[in-house]
Chain A
Amino acid sequence: MTFAVTILAQDAAPAAGWFMPGKGILAITLVIVAAAVMLSILWARAGRPIRIRKIAGLDAVDEAVGRATEMGRPVLFIPGIQDMDNIQTVAGITILGKVAKTAAEYDAEIEVPTTRSLVMTTAREAVHASYLSAGRTDSYNPDRIYYVSDEQFAFVAYTGGLMQRKRPAACFYFGCFFAESLILAENGNSIGAIQVAGTAETTQLPFFVASCDYTLIGEEFFAASAYLSGEPDQLGTLLGQDLVKGLAWAAVLVAALLATVAAVTGHEGLASFVNGARAALGGG
């Protein structure tokens, strides 16, 4: 509490302090999120049960890779079109590790074209680790994880051609996507592949929903690695996220009520508080 008050006080007098002006609320939110997640991890480590709802898209990974194996066709995985400094790419690579392990166990061929050479290197490491843990290092082929182009549409042109020529039976799109999302997903749809997508780009989600069999919407995408691993530590983070979401829900409800009361009663103090809170949270 003292910490929060200090930060808010420094927010009020930005010029003198070491603390960046206007970041007080963000710092407090960060501390709350970190505390909730860490406490939830400790809760899970203590062996307490955590129930997690079914995510159909992730349950379909085995089915999709199995289908590719039966049909003798490859599995295509695209970890978005951004570099490793994007958290969505990191989340995508984590899921790639799980998909690659399933592919290694089923002896299916996995193909990973990338738009950044750093992503290629990281993806190779993740896939190699998966093949190693599946005991199938002999099947690992680093040449199936390669760099295509940094250019968005050059990458799409290549990947579209690849889909039409190799006709992968399963296509996974996990990462940061922009306008190319629909072109990729429609190409995959046209060849009859099972398609699973996940992204945090809200503008691209409708395209994936329209063209893919399963789509992980927003937070589901970040929950995927925990869901697939089933490890208590990872599942604990999901509980922490839910706690913070509950707090956010309560905050929205209280703020909406206060704003409504301020508007109906014309109470100036309340209206000023609501406007101040909105401004502090970066709202208009």
Chain B
Amino acid sequence: MGRNAAAVLASIVGLVMVLTAFARPLEFLGTAVVDWFNVLAAIAFVLGGANLLKMNLLKISARDAGWGYSAVTVSVFLITIGVGLLKVGAHPDPLHPDVALSGDKEAVGGAFWWLYEYAMSPITSTLFALLAFYVASAAFRAFRAKNTAAILLLGTAFVVLLGRVYVGVLLTSWIPADNAWVSWLRLENLSGIIMGVFNNAGTRAMMIGIAIGIAATSLKILVGLDRSYLGSSD
């Protein structure tokens, strides 16, 4: 019963969302549903926070592998919430200087701003920078010339990479640029052809397939054919 009701509700809301994309009088409903989702997601934050605390406290109490990281996570989580809620170090609002907690917690100079600027942001940048090493190791494996397809991939990648750096341009600079019969052989042009024609065609073919797949999957949910995301009715 519960599962059927949820499926019907999902169908109705989904249909309304489809109609809001086309019917001008229903446009306001689309915005309203997005607002409802945001409210729901905000409430779910509490659920997420509680789950984070529970899982990490369990790990600490059981002294599981990596429990030290859990201790750091819980500490930082509580510190960030405390700093944000109490607006530690935030300057009072100039319009209401006598009202407690009237300042903006994210204003420059506050503890919340400091945490973001000097802890969160550098850590995120560091992790993002690690991607370079992962790209190197993945490329080393992917570009090993072990069969014909891999050799083709390696050759194509080599041409594209060379065509995008000055050395590549320099290597084939002796090919006349004004002769249409041979100018495409210059590495920068060859790289452009590979990316603009072959790569673009492949990507667009994939995107057409993806778009149709998304439409079909949405339709399955709208008509209630796919209810696996609703779980069990028991």
Contacts and interface: CB of A to CB of B under 8 A. Distances in A.
Interface of A: 17-20, 23, 26-27, 30, 33-34, 37-38, 41, 83-85, 87, 90-91, 93-94, 97-98, 116-118, 120-122, 124-126, 128-129, 132-133, 143, 146-154, 156-157, 161-162, 165-166, 179, 182-183, 185-186, 189, 200, 202, 205, 207, 209-211, 217-219, 221-223, 225, 233-234, 237-238, 240-241, 244-245, 248
16 contacts: A87-B217, A94-B226, A94-B229, A116-B44, A116-B48, A117-B45, A125-B229, A149-B52, A153-B123, A183-B134, A210-B142, A218-B207, A219-B209, A234-B226, A238-B216, A241-B213
A246 B210 CA distance: 14
A120 B228 CA distance: 14
B51 A37 contact: no
A50 B206 CA distance: 23
B216 A37 contact: yes
B212 interface: yes
A241 B216 contact: yes
A242 to B, nearest CB: 9
B165 interface: no
Interface string B124-157: 1001101100110111011000000000000000
A263 B81 CA distance: 63
A218 B123 contact: no
Interface stretch (B18-26, B86-94, B97-105, B178-186): B18-26
Interface residues of B, number: 60
Contacts, number: 186
Interface string B30-57: 0000000100110011011001100100
Q: SS class of chain A's interface: helix, strand, loop or mixed?
A: helix
Given A18-B25, A122-B231, A205-B206, 17 more contacts: A37-B215, A116-B41, A122-B229, A125-B232, A161-B66, A186-B138, A189-B141, A210-B139, A218-B206, A218-B213, A222-B213, A222-B214, A223-B213, A233-B225, A234-B226, A237-B219, A245-B212
B209 A90 contact: no
Given A117-B48, A218-B213, A245 B208 contact: yes
Contacts of B23: 18-20
A284 to B, nearest CB: 13
Contacts of B4: none
A129 B22 contact: no
B139, B203, B220, most chain A CB atoms within 10 A: B220
A153 B213 contact: no
Interface in B183-225: 203, 206-210, 212-221, 223, 225
A117 B216 contact: no
Contacts of B48: 116-117, 120, 147, 150
B217 A222 contact: yes
A182 B133 CA distance: 10
Counting from the closest, the 3 A-B pairs by CB-CB distance are A125-B231, A222-B213, A117-B48
A64 B65 CA distance: 25
Given A120-B51, A183-B131, A218-B207, A240 B216 contact: yes
B213 A143 contact: no
Nearest to A150: B48
Contacts of B217: 87, 90-91, 222, 225, 237
